[in-house]
Amino acid sequence: MGGDLRAQPVDVLDAADAAAELAALAAEIAAHDRAYYQDDRPAISDGDYDGLRRRNEAIEARFPHLKRADSPSERVGAAPAAGFAKRRHRHAMLSLANAFGEDEVGEFLARIRRFLNLDAAEPVAILAEPKIDGLSLNLLYLDGRLVQAATRGDGTEGEDVTANVRTIADVPARLAADGPAAPPAVVEVRGEVYMERAAFAELNRRRGAAGEAVFANPRNAAAGSLRQLDVAVTEGRPLRFFGYSWGEVSAPFAATQGDARAVLAGWGFRLNEPARLCADQPALMAYYGEILGRRADLPFEIDGVVYKVDRLDWQARLGTVARAPRFALAHKFPAEQAETRLLAIDIQVGRTGALTPVAHLEPVTVGGVVVSRATLHNADEIARKDVRVGDHVRVQRAGDVIPQVLAALGDRRPAGGLEPFVFPEHCPCPLATPVLRPDGEAVHRCTGELACPYQQVEKLIHFVSRDAVDIDGLGAKQVQSFFETGMIQTPGDFFDLAARDGTDWPPIAEREGWGAKSADNLFKAIEARRSIPLERFIYALGIRQIGQATAKLLARTYATLADWQSAMTQAAAERRAAPEEQRKADAVGPAFAHLCGIDGVGFAVADDLVAFFGESHNLEVLAALEARVSVEPAEAPAADSALAGKTIVFTGALESMSRAEAKARAEALGAKVAGSVSARTDFVVVGTDAGSKATKARDLGLTVLSEEEWREMAG
């Protein structure tokens, strides 16, 4: 097991290798998400990143039972940036699933038919439109008047940029009422802020003439221009806006996606054209080829096309997964490539101890952007590609990020050869602790745990990051500095900074880069985070495999910090007490069984959770935090549903809807969907050929529902 996993086709992987690679991919993609969304310093190209996600999805498709709770397919977006007020979207702003070939588009169409249980003869019209490479924006209109504008952020809340957006001529301050449909009392209009190519070139020309730094590309220019704290700066930038979607609406205004576009145009929005209604896959492929051919002639940047189911009632039934709607797909364009030289390979250490090799490249322009760094993923990737320092390499870029190293150009290697890269056996941290490659994993890890300063710092940076506790004014640089001077060693220390400032160390206001105002703002930001939602608190702890989606799932399941901690402590005790031969079983006690039974958690994630609670120093960190912060209970589900707060299990085949649609409907009504039956289960929905779960439900005296009874309860 282990070895060069990614060199193997997915269809030859066994379950053990698949599980190991899914673990490595989850950690790697999460790290890239943080680099791109939180730090604004992406480490790989869009093409490379999409490749990782595609590999992950392919393995999950072949081994659906191995899908992890922290799967990258369950995450979306980035947290809002410091400097702007945060605004919660009334309906979540999601990302889009990606396709890169005709087969994936065909599978998208097939999934729609399977989910909706459509007959093969039923036509499925798809609205296709260009995919703008800009910044997503949500506009809230009340009684036709613009009252708020916010960036997508992490999909739940974004940055309030209302004042800046009012300077964009394409954004109507009041919706026109004389179009195909009158504006509803409440409507969130969504679209993309962008900058046209000619305007971008002129802006860069003026900035260059003035001795100012130029923007890398139109998307960067648009994002940077919209996020100006000085509204006058935004007003002087040539920003445009396309409206093409919506969030919350108080009343329906269209029956199809095409009709909705016409209504948006009638309200005063510009549309991303040319769009086309396509009847089948050949029509979609023809549209894709046409737009790809016209890409260079369009006045704005695009990086693909978007397909959406035209019927809005079908869109509502299809709903969403954690990070994307089921009714839409982004068909991306091919990546751009160039050649350069590999100057050096450095090793970076993440908060879980993972060692990531980073390639330093001779700067090269790829698609109009100068790039100089790329990740090499792990030792297997370096060996598979036979990449050596000094090699000429081919790199690929598909967006505003650092490229992927595709391959070494062996025919350009010096005659005497170059030395292969030797992966270090010791961590590059000052302690030089040994490096271990866990059995079945593709990554090497430092064994220093919290003794390794790199891991300590990364965990602290993660704790205050935007998706976690989110303390404005504390970035990686500040946390590193505070750690090195002994001001912060554990997460609880952040909340003691103000009390100890000027007593245990010289005042922060007197440190280089700080002042009285910035120090005061920091202390206020810390105070504002003394109350933390449970899901953010769980995620902030940095437990291995616990991403945002899993943290939300745990918070929703256990509701309060006290109940979650009690359940995890009990589950950890059960695991310790279990005989050695039972420790690989999914259930060794009621608390651990309940944890494993949560749909989307499973054994591997449960094992890492209880391992965290089995370490005394982790419990000390938790106790210190509980003494300093208030952890808010998870939001209670809506009380107007018979399923709100209930646990439901589906078993057997459903005839009137797919299992996926049934699960999505249950969760929309506030239910928790479990994968196994236990005494804690409230309802068991039994389809045909139900099997042992139905038998167990009846033996336990649980409420068993037929499919018809379930449909009535679910409305």
Give the Cα separation of 536 and 528 in Å (integer): 14
Given a contact cutoff of 8 angstroms between Cβ atoms, the answer to whether 250 and 434 are in contact is: no
Angle at 352 between CA 349 and CA 357, to 5 degrees: 30
Given a contact cutoff of 8 angstroms between Cβ atoms, the answer to whether 345 and 112 are in contact is: no
Given a contact cutoff of 8 angstroms between Cβ atoms, the answer to whether 192 and 148 are in contact is: no
- At 548, give phi and psi (nearest 5°): -65, -40
- At 496, give phi and psi (nearest 5°): -105, 0
Helix H or strand E encompassing 96: none
Helix H or strand E encompassing 493: none
Angle at 439 between CA 433 and CA 443, to 5 degrees: 60
Q: Which of 614, 627, 495 is nearest to 561 (CA)?
A: 627
3-state secondary structure labels for all residues of 547-582: CHHHHHHHHHHHCCHHHHHHHHHHHHHHHHHCCHHH
Residue type, 133: D
| Helix and strand element counts for the chain (H, E) | 24, 24
Beta strand residue intervals within 228-322, DSSP E: 240-249, 276-278, 302-309
Token pair 């062996």 in the structure block, residue: 410
Helix H or strand E encompassing 116: helix 102-116
Q: Which of 243, 276, 285 is nearest to 134 (CA)?
A: 243
Cross-strand pairs, 408: 393
Given a contact cutoff of 8 angstroms between Cβ atoms, the answer to whether 606 and 592 are in contact is: yes
Given a contact cutoff of 8 angstroms between Cβ atoms, the answer to whether 432 and 423 are in contact is: no
Q: How many CA atoms lie within 13 A of 594 on its CB side?
A: 18
- State the angle between helix axes of 590-597 and 561-577 in degrees (0 to 180), rounded to the nearest 10: 110
Given a contact cutoff of 8 angstroms between Cβ atoms, the answer to whether 386 and 408 are in contact is: yes
Q: How many CA atoms lie within 13 A of 639 on its CB side?
A: 2
Look up residue 153 and give its two tokens: 């952020």
Given a contact cutoff of 8 angstroms between Cβ atoms, the answer to whether 371 and 395 are in contact is: yes
Active site residue 131: yes
Give the Cα separation of 492 and 120 in Å (integer): 59
Quick count: other Cβ atoms within 10 Å of Cβ 438? Answer: 14
Give the Cα separation of 280 and 284 in Å (integer): 6
Give the Cα separation of 488 and 479 in Å (integer): 8
Given a contact cutoff of 8 angstroms between Cβ atoms, the answer to whether 644 and 671 are in contact is: yes
DSSP 673: E
DSSP 508: G
Q: Going by DSSP bridges, is the β-strand pair 354-366/531-533 parallel, antiparallel, or unpaired?
A: unpaired
Q: Of these residues, 67, 86, 131, 477, which one is catalytic?
A: 131
Catalogue the active-site residues: 131
